[in-house]
Chain A
């Protein structure tokens, strides 16, 4: 066992593969940051809102006002440095911290693919991705190695595999497979599309795409791993992501996934691409093909690193299953929903009417949400219990400041999930001002009068 482990850890692969991933990842992140800023979303998401929904335990992460732009600049610059492999270790640490900080400011904008980026950039901190085809290795030939331990590439493949496979597992439920929900609601919204539009209104299309989507997600990591199915798998990856891109507003995620899966290809492909690019910059790539091997050392610090990454990946495998520790329906309470690769699974919408009551005079005010929240925040808040609670606390503090005695906050709230009619969501008698956020089950969420079978 130990032998096999040692043997695996000393296995080699071409550095070009990891270097290719580094370059592609860095450039995509740079593009993604530029896109975000150019759409004016920094202003809209992080500067304009007077209130932000924070992650439990990360309430101390605050927007930086106009300095948020500086944060984006630092993030973009570090992404570029990662791409070209210049002062790589510092650059990837700065990228990980700045990107993650941005994502932690407001959970309204939470997307699985942002979480994916944070995780990958964290893993990249520990990998020798600048050992070839990088400015670092170009300037200092002592840092250039043609080969590196192959686990450093496998760990990225594993991360990608988890994203797909877990997204597939999450689809194995009765709403997705038996009712073709939510695709049945979403696809008709695009039925004005040329050529395929008319099919999007048809029942069999909804079922076919639901089932194909689930099978695709479960199978694709394995199809990419085996050489014989790789090309077919990549074609499927492209078709799948381009199609979702056309149907849904999912931003850069499709490109990130398409480009990332190229890591499964043989090193020869990565080399050719990198050498072409090196050529463009009149860079002599021969010095990267120096035949040198960066052997896996078994020093204490290296052992510690490998042990830590192993634990980290084991955590990734287990963490998405934490929902099993909660009672009630996951889709309804969303306890354990985020950070679990549950992508495009639910059509959920809500309506909330908050009431604030003065505990002494019993004077009651009905809250106009648009006075405090952006439309996007209000939309996200209306069907997620932790948002509702945090907003209730914000209202409590606000009304206390303007003179209410010990304000009581209650909410009349209705939520519609995956084609079910709206039903009451939060106990209208619960005084949310007195409820606290925790990892425990929220008892003030009313029961979901239905059952979704499956994982």
Chain B
């Protein structure tokens, strides 16, 4: 009898000690999330944003040179700088967290198709506030695309807008303001990361819904799904419109030969993030790949990390079959666009149905008995 009571007492004590049913089980899986977050911040996110900042600065310098004395040669320089900055943007569009989230970084940098009517109206009136949500589709890289590639049929016609056009001053001002706006955001984000945000980001190393790893993985997958898969390929190829294609909704429409380059950059950026690969270096550190391998996540006999990387290879192969101009590709053979979309889609499935549950990325907490 005494024994039994003792046993029950023990049980109660044992149970009380182990009672951690508020979800954020602090012990977790033992993976070093601090090291993971540090690698993401120091070797991937911050260098990517700094690179982007540099490229935006160059773009701004070229635009200043162009607006000071518009020539066709200078226009070419602006275009080159624009392409470089646009490519750099593909590496930072993933990280809409912290300051970038606060300023709606992706929305005010890359909404396409751009609103040309709105841009012309802004130029005509000369007054606009880029911080307003209603102005998001009149700025960023797509707006610049229109301003340097879409105003006229050839370079001479475009340059004319900045020289002989009756409203040339306003055109120049708008171009200048677009670059300035990119720079303001880039500077704010880099400063924030180099200031207090880095430690906030790394410090949130638990596994609750609001922890950095959980949030970052959700944001990463969302960017891949919405901005890469749907935005760059799915929407123009008519996947979301019952087959009605939109050749004008491709990224870099006015330049029209860079949508493939930008897509490949974005896929590369996603793969690099997945692999924990340092920005602009061959070295890799802790990342989603290493995390999956730490947990020994094997799916149908193969490591999930290998399956996902193999799928990235398949995606690049499908992309390689596409024309540099997606508008052209949609006209000539949209099935190749759809094929590329299908391959991109597989990694959405692997991320969402295989990777996130394996990493126990919390959706929401509640009791579960696994059925």
Residues of A at the B interface (CB closer than 8 Å) are 39, 41, 44-45, 109-113, 182, 185, 188-194, 197, 201, 231, 234-235, 238, 242, 245-246, 248-255, 258, 265, 268-269, 272, 337-338, 342-347, 349-351, 357, 362-364, 366, 374-376, 378-379, 382, 414-416, 419-422
Contact = CB atoms under 8 A, between A and B. Distances in A.
Contact of A342 (B4, B25, B364, B371): B371
B31 to A, nearest CB: 7
Contact of A251 (B21, B352, B364): B21
Interface of B: 1, 3-4, 7, 10-11, 14-15, 18-19, 21-23, 25, 27-31, 240-242, 295-300, 302, 304, 307, 348-350, 352-354, 356-358, 360, 363-371
B11 A242 contact: yes
A351 B353 contact: yes
A407 to B, nearest CB: 13
Contact of B11 (A190, A191, A238): A238
B11 A258 contact: yes
A343 B370 CA distance: 6
A189 B15 contact: no
Given A362-B242, A416-B354, A249 B298 contact: no
A416 B352 CA distance: 10
B358 A185 contact: yes
Contacts of B365: 249
A53 to B, nearest CB: 14
B370 A349 contact: no
Contact of A272 (B1, B297, B357): B1
B370 A248 contact: yes
Q: Give the one of B307, B348, B358 with max A CB within 10 A.
A: B358
B358 A343 contact: no
Given A250-B368, A344-B370, A364-B241, A422 B15 contact: no
Contacts of B304: 421
B23 A249 contact: yes
A351 B369 contact: no
User: 9 tightest CB-CB pairs across the interface, nearest first?
Assistant: A192-B30, A251-B367, A349-B357, A344-B370, A375-B364, A192-B27, A421-B299, A351-B353, A422-B353
A363 B21 CA distance: 46
B15 A245 contact: yes
Given A189-B28, A349-B353, A422-B353, 6 more contacts: A111-B369, A242-B14, A245-B15, A245-B19, A252-B367, A272-B1
B27 A366 contact: no
B1 to A, nearest CB: 6
Contact of B353 (A192, A350, A419): A350
Contacts of B18: 242, 245-246
Contact of A419 (B1, B299, B307, B350): B299
A190 B29 contact: yes
B366 A346 contact: no
A242 B348 CA distance: 37
Given A374-B364, A375-B364, A416-B354, A347 B29 contact: no
B68 to A, nearest CB: 47
A41 B366 contact: yes
Nearest to A450: B300
A414 B367 CA distance: 24
A253 to B, nearest CB: 7
Q: Give the one of B28, B29, B304, B365 with max A CB within 10 A.
A: B29
Contacts of A44: 366
B29 A345 contact: no
A374 B19 CA distance: 26
Contacts of B241: 364
Given A242-B14, A416-B354, A343 B369 contact: yes
Contacts of B23: 249
Contacts of B370: 182, 248, 343-347
14 contacts: A111-B367, A192-B29, A197-B27, A201-B30, A250-B367, A251-B21, A258-B11, A343-B370, A350-B353, A351-B349, A364-B240, A382-B353, A421-B354, A422-B349
Contact of B242 (A190, A338, A364, A378): A364
Given A246-B18, A249-B367, A376-B366, A188 B299 contact: no
A200 to B, nearest CB: 9
B368 A111 contact: yes
Given A374-B364, A376-B363, A357 B242 contact: yes
B63 to A, nearest CB: 38
